[in-house]
């Protein structure tokens, strides 16, 4: 399995994600923002960071780059796409997942370990978990508060992937911190699973998200 790792100016979690993909048993390959043909890849990860310095709005400038056309084509081919943190914001900007990720309720950068509840196992990224299972993964964001006007639709279509369990550190609607599209193949998550892939880091719960590509 060859998984593309998208790089924008300001991306800073690309190497962490590539390492996590290798640990999961797949082959990562970096893809720059100006590449449009992604047909050789079996899946895509859009890593975290601060694409284009988060100017205008997090993910806004990245959303109009050539690589987005390639990602849209992969989605049409029913290949999995995972957006992490800034990647989640980008997926929201281009409308591949419902809702948006806006400034935290307490408008400061928030970096801490959190307990998360798995809301659905119908995505490739959560198929190795049990519904309702608790996982430990860190967050690191200033614009991670999830909001949508269609919360009932998300519930009806089983699109809530992860929720904060014991506390809601950024004020997200119903503590939601990860959602997917209707197919389940496109997933946006604010927590950083690549930072929880080895026991030395404090948790291996994040590795299963990457094993979902296999």
* Selected catalytic residue, list 180, 187, 192, 197: 192
* Selected catalytic residue, list 13, 85, 180, 187: 85
DSSP codes of every residue in 156-206: HTT-EEEEESS--TT--GGGEEEEE-TTSSEEEESS-GGGSSBGGGTB-TT
Nearest to residue 182, comparing CAs of 112, 98, 108, 119? 98
Burial class (CB in 10 A: 0-12, 13-18, 19+), 127: middle
Question: Is there a catalytic annotation at residue 143?
Answer: no
Question: Is there a catalytic annotation at residue 194?
Answer: yes
Burial class (CB in 10 A: 0-12, 13-18, 19+), 177: buried
State the sign of the Cα–Cα–Cα–Cα dihedral 97, 131, 49, 105: positive
Question: Is there a catalytic annotation at residue 85?
Answer: yes
* Cβ partners under 8 Å of residue 12, min gap 6: 47, 48, 49, 50
**Residue 44 CB coordination number (10 Å):** 24
What is the rounded distance in angstroms from the CA atom of residue 15 to the CA atom of residue 208?
18
Q: Which two tokens stand for residue 46?
A: 């859009």
* Selected catalytic residue, list 13, 93, 180, 194: 194
Q: Which residues are catalytic?
A: 85, 192, 194
């Amino acid at each position: 399995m060859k998984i593309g790792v998208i790089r924008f100016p300001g991306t800073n979690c690309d190497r962490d994600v590539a390492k996590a993909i290798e640990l999961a048993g797949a082959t990562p390959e970096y893809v720059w923002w100006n590449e449009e043909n992604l047909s050789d890849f079996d899946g895509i990860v859009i890593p975290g960071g601060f694409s284009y310095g988060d100017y205008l709005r997090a993910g806004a400038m990245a959303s109009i780059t050539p690589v987005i056309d390639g990602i849209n084509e992969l989605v049409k081919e029913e290949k999995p796409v995972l957006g992490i943190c800034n990647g989640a914001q980008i997926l929201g900007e281009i409308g591949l997942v419902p809702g948006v990720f806006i400034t935290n309720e307490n408008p400061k950068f928030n970096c801490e370990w959190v307990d998360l509840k798995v809301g659905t196992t119908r995505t490739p990224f959560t198929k190795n978990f049990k519904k309702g299972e608790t996982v430990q993964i860190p967050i690191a964001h200033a614009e991670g508060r999830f909001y949508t006007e269609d919360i009932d639709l998300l519930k009806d279509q089983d699109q809530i992937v992860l929720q904060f369990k014991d506390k809601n550190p950024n004020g997200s609607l119903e503590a939601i911190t990860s959602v997917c599209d209707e197919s389940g193949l496109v997933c946006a998550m604010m927590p950083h699973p690549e930072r929880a892939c080895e026991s030395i880091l404090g948790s291996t719960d994040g590795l299963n998200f990457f094993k979902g590509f296999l």
